[in-house]
């Protein structure tokens, strides 16, 4: 239970708190996708009702960058509608895709808006994430014993699947999965697949490292580490290791001694740059070789998406993902990669609708990170998003990574990002 400092005081904070700490109970009934997709809209309408009753004008406090994200989200919807019209996909598919937009890309500007304008304590979000990370550790220990005993990992598909979603993986309840290439177990925790769990472990690490309470910080970081290891995400392993020095040193670049040290280090890096590059490249190839089939499928999916986007729908895209051929094991074209997916589904318009606000947000957070701990951690989250955008489709995972978007929204409001009592 939260202490007085972390006690949710408003209905919006209660939604955020319980929406997080009930992650595993909701996962156990296959309800996480439904809850995560609706939570942001419920908080939004609650906040709007509060503003209406109190007679406040919320639009005046929305930061410019949040407006840029809102514009990007609306442009994505426009691109989707135009693509559906161009390809004559019909009213039913257009409605379904619009609902998908509301549960996907729209959640990014929505939670950014909520983080920027809703009164929520940053410490409450951090503590809630630490609780979920601790639950992940307990889940890992228990299910590892089940795995050693040889029990079945897959349990059932939730009947909540009838509400609709990207696929059965989002409603599947399982203890662990199986990696056929390595012939060992592989854990996805509460995510739809294991690499997404690796993605979440990196975001959780950033949150947990900011926790003031030693107990929750240590167990939260441990849970995040176990998530990353058992998810067996190649990208997750590299990014997780990168985050630790990044969190420690990202706020140092304005200090004279660090600038001098950086100036001395740069010539050294240039001199030994080639052997370092050769070592990094060799390590990267070794990681890719650890799962050759996965690498092959991803590579072909990317080539198919790029070729068909360029030749068939360069401006507005195809409107929907399409089932891939047998050579990619039926995986949808436009999945597994945010940028190729945007090009295939929403064309150049959709790609720039994400790239432009993401670029300016990164620049802003880098500058603010020199003075604000919240902005510093938000910058690390943005880096994780950028890295994982080349391995995952960010749109369909918004229902689980929403706490990070909420946190970035807090960082985009100068009146909130200067809060030192995180």
**Phi/psi-derived region of residue 291, left when phi > 0, alpha when psi is between -120 and 50, beta in every other case:** beta
Q: How many CB atoms lie within 10 A of CB 413?
A: 20
Q: How confident is the model at residue 209 (pLDDT cuts 50, 70, 90)?
A: very high
pLDDT-above-70 percentage for the chain: 81
Q: What is the mean pLDDT of residues 172-177?
A: 92
Average pLDDT over residues 337-354: 89
Say which residue, 192 or 7, is predicted with more confidence: 192
Residue 278's contacts (CB-CB under 8 Å, 6 or more residues apart) are none
**Segment 237-252, tens digit of pLDDT:** 888 888 887 776 666 6
pLDDT of residue 59: 53
Closest to 358 measured CA to CA, from 71, 40, 36: 71
Going by pLDDT thresholds of 50, 70 and 90, the confidence category of residue 279 is: low
What's the whole-number average pLDDT of the chain? Answer: 84
pLDDT of residue 51: 83
In angstroms, the CA 321 to CA 393 distance is: 11
Smallest Cα–Cα separation from 136: which of 197, 217, 212?
Answer: 197
> Averaged over 187-198, what is the pLDDT?
93
Between 250 and 274, residue with greater pLDDT: 250
Mean pLDDT, residues 114-120: 92
Q: In whole angstroms, give the CA distance from residue 82 to residue 69.
A: 20
Nearest to 244 by CA among 343, 346, 384: 384
pLDDT, residue 262, reads: 46
Q: Which of 166-180, 266-280, 328-342 has the lowest mean pLDDT?
A: 266-280
At 98, is the pLDDT very low, low, confident or very high (cuts 50, 70, 90)?
very high
Alpha helices in 55-185 (DSSP H): 64-86, 91-102, 107-117, 122-148
């Amino acid at each position: 239970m939260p202490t007085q400092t972390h006690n949710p005081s408003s209905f919006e904070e209660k939604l955020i708190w319980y929406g997080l700490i009930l992650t595993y109970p909701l996962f156990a009934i296959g309800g996480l996708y439904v809850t995560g997709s609706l939570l942001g809209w419920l908080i939004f309408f609650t906040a709007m009702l509060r503003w209406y009753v109190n007679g406040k004008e919320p639009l005046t406090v929305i930061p410019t960058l949040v407006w840029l994200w809102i514009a990007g989200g609306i442009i994505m919807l426009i691109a989707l509608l135009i693509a559906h019209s161009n390809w004559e996909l019909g009213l039913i598919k257009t409605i379904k895709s619009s609902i998908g937009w509301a549960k996907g890309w729209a959640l990014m500007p929505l939670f950014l808006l909520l983080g920027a304008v809703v009164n929520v304590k940053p410490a409450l979000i951090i503590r809630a994430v630490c609780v979920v990370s601790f639950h992940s550790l307990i889940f890992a220990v228990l299910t590892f014993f089940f795995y050693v005993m040889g029990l079945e990992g897959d349990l059932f598909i939730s009947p909540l699947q009838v509400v609709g979603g990207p696929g059965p993986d989002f409603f599947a309840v399982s203890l662990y999965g199986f990696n056929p290439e390595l012939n060992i177990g592989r854990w996805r925790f509460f995510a739809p697949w294991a690499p997404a769990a690796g993605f979440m472990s990196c975001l959780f690490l950033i949150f947990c490292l900011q926790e003031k309470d030693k107990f929750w910080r240590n167990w939260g970081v441990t849970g995040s580490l176990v998530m990353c290891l058992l998810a067996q995400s190649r990208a997750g392993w590299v990014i997780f290791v990168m985050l630790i020095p990044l969190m420690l040193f990202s706020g140092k670049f304005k200090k004279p001694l660090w600038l001098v040290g950086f100036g001395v280090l740069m010539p050294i890096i240039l001199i030994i740059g080639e052997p370092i590059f050769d070592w990094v490249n060799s390590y990267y190839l070794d990681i890719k070789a650890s799962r050759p089939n996965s690498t092959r499928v991803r590579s072909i999916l990317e080539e198919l998406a790029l070729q068909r986007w360029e030749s068939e729908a360069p401006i507005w895209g195809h409107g929907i993902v399409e089932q891939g051929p047998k050579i990619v094991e039926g995986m949808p074209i436009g999945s597994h990669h945010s940028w190729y997916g945007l090009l295939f589904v929403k064309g150049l318009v959709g790609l720039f609708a994400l790239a432009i606000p993401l670029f300016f947000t990164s620049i802003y957070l880098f500058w603010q990170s020199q003075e604000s701990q919240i902005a510093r951690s938000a910058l690390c989250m943005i880096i994780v998003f950028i890295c994982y955008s080349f391995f995952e489709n960010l749109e369909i995972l918004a229902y689980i990574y929403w706490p990070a978007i909420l946190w970035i929204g807090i960082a985009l409001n100068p009146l909130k990002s200067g809060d030192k009592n995180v």
